[in-house]
Amino acid sequence: MPMVYLVGAGPGDPDLLTVKARRLLEQADVVVYDRLVGEGVLALVPKGAARIYVGKAAGAHHLGQDEINELLVRAAKPGRTVVRLKGGDPFIFGRGSEEAIYLRERGVRVEVVPGITAASGCCSALGVPLTHRGLASGFRIVTGHAKADEPLALDWRGLADPDTTLVVYMGLAHLPEIAAQLIEHGLPAGTPTLAIERGTTAAQGFCQASLAELPAAVATAGLAAPALIVIGRVVSLMAAEVRAVHAPPAVAARVLELA
């Protein structure tokens, strides 16, 4: 039977790939990859393999999801190693499960290779735990992306829980709304927050501020997508020396002044 591997590329740093993901990339005949997959990961693909870009950005989809699904079916041939490569984990906001269902319904075997999702990888790289005794008894991951000109349809009251770390994917464009809604529904305006751009990569940047001040801080720092928003008391555990090492030069200087 034809076969497709749904592979998680992790948060960006190629050293954070699983052993299995790396092996499959090095053996691949065809790699169908997303926008968030970095060049360091793609460098592992053999020179003779076909690389097919199907990335999506807000308002600019290289291919629609239906076209991607059909492309994978056509690419899958017996004896051919086809890797569908997605940033992070393929089953966390990657539409990997939709692709798996589509392929299986058409007689294509699917094997999922999990990856380190951005919430875990980016926070750990900055020394911020998602849970910590006395600060966060759990964490939630939500998407901050909505259709054009539509408000976010999220359970704001449920998300405004001071005992839970909230991680928002794809939420930069809606950051002012996210902050305002959480504060309106009871989360303290002074809750520590963190925005991380291109986490775990050489281009990583971030800024730390209170929930009320985060939208302005992100604009001042010039952070851009792809970015992750982390909201919760655990952010306060990031040490000043860590902030200085990982921040852009201008931000690092300010961090050291405040430390």
Q: What is the pLDDT of residues 100-118, one digit of tens each?
A: 999 999 999 999 999 999 9
- 118-258: CATH class: alpha beta
Q: To which H or E segment does residue 256 belong?
A: helix 249-258
Q: Closest Cα partner for 126 from 15, 4, 228?
A: 228
Catalytic pick from 86, 161, 170, 238?
170
**Looking at residue 33, what DSSP letter applies?**
E
34 is catalytic: yes
Q: What is the pLDDT of residue 157?
A: 96
Could you tell me if 8 and 33 are in contact, meaning their C-beta atoms sit under 8 angstroms apart? no
Q: What is the pLDDT of residues 173-190, one digit of tens each?
A: 999 999 999 999 999 999
Catalytic pick from 3, 20, 29, 56?
56
Alpha helices in 48-203 (DSSP H): 65-75, 96-105, 118-125, 156-159, 175-184
3 is catalytic: no
Q: What is the pLDDT of residues 110-152, one digit of tens each?
A: 999 999 999 999 999 999 999 999 999 999 999 998 766 677 8
Angle between helices 65-75 and 96-105 (to 10 degrees): 50
Angle between helices 175-184 and 214-221 (to 10 degrees): 160
Could you tell me if 87 and 37 are in contact, meaning their C-beta atoms sit under 8 angstroms apart? yes
Domain ranges of the chain: 3-113, 118-258
170 is catalytic: yes
Asked if the domains at 3-113 and 118-258 fall in one CATH topology, the answer is no
Q: What is the pLDDT of residues 60-102, one digit of tens each?
A: 556 889 999 999 999 999 999 999 999 999 999 989 999 999 9
CATH architecture of 3-113: 3-Layer(aba) Sandwich (3.40)
Catalytic pick from 34, 89, 161, 238?
34
